[in-house]
Amino acid sequence: MRFIFAMVAAMALVSGVAAAEPEPDCSVPESLIPAEVDLTRAASEIKDRHRLDITVVGSGSSVLSGPDGARFAYPAQLEQALKERLPGYEIKVTAHIEPRLITADMAANIPKLLAADQPALVIWQAGTADALLGVEPEEFRTSLDQGLDAIAAAKADAILMNMQYSPRTETMLSVTQYADVMRWVTEQRGIVLFDRLAIMRYWSDEGTFDLYSATNGYAMARRVHECIGRALAAQIVNAGHLDAGTETTR
C-alpha cells in the first residue's frame, strides 16, 4: 500500500498537480489495473496528435441521477483525471448513457456512435442490465463480440467495464455469470477488462467506502464515481504507456 501511495505522490509531483485538490483515498492495487494489454491506438493518438478522444458507452451505472448527475459521474471524472495526469494534451470524453439498455442494443448502437465521435478509445460498460433481465449468457457473449468487432473495425481501442460491486443486491441479482463471460471475452480478444467489480470490492474490504450502507446520500455516490474515474485514468495511462518519464509507476 505504502508503495502505491508513494507512486501516486511521485506521479502527482512529476505532472505538477501536487497542489491541486486533495485526492480521495481510494488507490487501487496494481494487480487490478493491469498493464499487460496495450492500448496502441490511444498511445499513438497521444504521441502523434497530442489528443485523446474517448467514447463511453454504458447503462444506468455509468451515470448518477439528478440534473447534475452526468457532471459527477465517472465519465466526466475520467476526463478531469486524465487532464490532470496528461497536462498539455487535449482530452475529450463523450458519454452515451442510456439506463436499462442491454448489451445487444448497445452493440447495435455502437457503429453509429463511433461514426459520429471518431474516438481512439471506447470504454464499454455492460452487464448489469443483462443480469437484471436474465439475458442468456451465450447471447450476452455474442452481443459483446458483435460490439467489440465494430469497435475494432473503427480502429479504436476498447476497454470493457463490468458491473458495480453491490453487496446489498447480491442475494437478488447474480452478476457472476455475466462477469465471467466478460472476463473470458476480454482474455480471448486480448483487450483490457476494467474490473470495476473487483475494484469496488477491494474498496469495500479496505473500508474505503461503506457499500453496504442503505441510505448514504449523493456524497458517497459522487466520491465513488470520482474514484472510478481516477482508476480508469490510471488504467488508460498504464495500458497506453502514456506516462513516459514516470516509467516507475508501472
Partner 1 sequence: MVKASPPPAAAGERDLRLDLFRGVALWLIFLDHIPENIANWFTIRNYGFSDATEIFIFISGYTAAFVYGRAMRERGFVLSSARILRRAWQIYVAHIFLFTIFMAEIAYVAATFNNPLYAEEMNILDFLKQPDVTIFQALLLKFKPVNMDVLPLYIVLLLLFPPALFLLLRQPNLALAGSAVVYAFAWKLDWNLPAYPNGVWFFNPFAWQLLFVFGAWCALGGAHRLAGVLRSHIVLAIAIVYLVFAFAITLTWHFESLDRFVPGWLADWMYPIDKTNLDVLRFTHFLALAAVTVRFVPRDWPGLKAPVLQPAIRCGQHSLEIFCLGVFLAFAGQFIIAQSSGGPLLQTAVSVLGILLMIATANLISWYKSIEGRSSSSRVKTPDADLAGGEA
The least CB distance from residue 130 to partner 1, in Å, is 9
With respect to partner 1, which residue has the nearer C-beta, 44 or 169? Answer: 169
The answer to whether the beta carbons of residues 118 and 53 sit under 8 Å apart is yes
110 to 78, 118, 148, 151: CA distances (angstroms): 20, 11, 9, 7
With respect to partner 1, which residue has the nearer C-beta, 100 or 155? Answer: 100
With respect to partner 1, which residue has the nearer C-beta, 166 or 246? Answer: 166
How far out from the chain centre does Cα 128 lie?
A: 14
- From residue 29 to residue 48, the character string flagging contacts with partner 1 as x (rule: CB under 8 A) and all else as - is --x--x--------------
C-alpha cell at 57: 458507452
The least CB distance from residue 181 to partner 1, in Å, is 7
The least CB distance from residue 150 to partner 1, in Å, is 23
Residue 160's Cβ-side half-sphere holds a number of Cα atoms within 13 Å equal to 33
How far apart are alpha carbons 233 and 229 in whole angstroms? Answer: 6
The least CB distance from residue 201 to partner 1, in Å, is 9
The least CB distance from residue 51 to partner 1, in Å, is 31
How far apart are alpha carbons 232 and 226 in whole angstroms? Answer: 10
How far apart are alpha carbons 96 and 157 in whole angstroms? Answer: 17
With respect to partner 1, which residue has the nearer C-beta, 83 or 189? Answer: 189
By CB under 8 A, residue 132 contacts partner 1:
yes
Polymer length in residues for the chain: 250
The answer to whether the beta carbons of residues 56 and 205 sit under 8 Å apart is no
Positions in the binding site for partner 1 (CB under 8 A): 31, 34, 59-61, 64-66, 99-100, 128-129, 132-137, 164, 166-174, 180-181, 184, 187-188, 210-218, 220-221, 224
